[in-house]
Each structure stands twice: as structure tokens, then as C-alpha cells.
Amino acid sequence: MVEEAKPSTLSPAKPTRWRRFGYRNIAYLAFLVLLIPFGIALEASGPAGPDRGGGVGAAVMMGGIGTLLFFIANAVLLLIALIKRRPARIPLIACALPVAIVVFMLLLEELTVS
């Protein structure tokens, strides 16, 4: 009596939404969100009066530098993925994310000013 081996019916795990969006994109958004309390903390510990604003300015500069580095790194990864014909969804999202955030902030500013 020899038993036949049944073929495995397990399929590969379907990627979660988080994984399809990309962990580095989530880390970038977390970095931007953590800059808000960091800027507030720097502002609270700084000088009062007309010299205020250094903490928020430092947080904005750190966010700008981080965004620029994030964009450049993901643009390189996008080019590599396209050249090697690999899936380019995550680097493409990562390149569009900073641009979308800047456009959203500019639109938000226009809505709040008027």
C-alpha cells in the first residue's frame, strides 16, 4: 500500500495593503508625522518673542532635506526597476508621494488663506 502524495493546495501569501504600498513609503510618512511634535518641542524650548520660529523652521528644513533624499533615492530605484524590467509600483508611488504632499499642502494653504 503506497499512498500518493497530494499536491499542495497552499497558494503563496497575498501581499497585504501595507506591503503593496511599500514599507519605505510608510516610514517616510511616519518621519513627516514625527517632525510635527519635534518642531513643537524645539519651539517650546527656544526663545520667546520676535525670535520665535526657529524650531518650526528646523523641522521644515529637516523635512525638506529628508524629502529630497527620499525622492532622489526612489527615482534611482525606479530607473533601476525600469531598466531591469522589474515591478516598479513601489518606487513609482515613492516618487509621487512627496510631490502629492507638496501639492496638497499648497492647496490647503490656498483654502485657509481665503
pLDDT digits (tens, 9 = 90+) for 7-53: 556 666 676 777 788 889 999 999 999 999 998 888 887 777 776 77
For the entire predicted model, the pTM comes to 0.75
Spatial separation of the C-alpha atoms in residues 16 and 73, rounded to whole Å: 24
Q: Report phi then psi at 64, rounded to 5.
A: -65, -45
Please check whether residue 88 is in contact with residue 78, taking contact to mean a CB–CB distance below 8 angstroms: yes
Number of H helices, E strands in the chain: 4, 0
The average pLDDT across 85-98 equals 92
Helix (H, G, I), strand (E, B), or coil: what is residue 81?
helix
Average pLDDT of the residues of the chain: 85
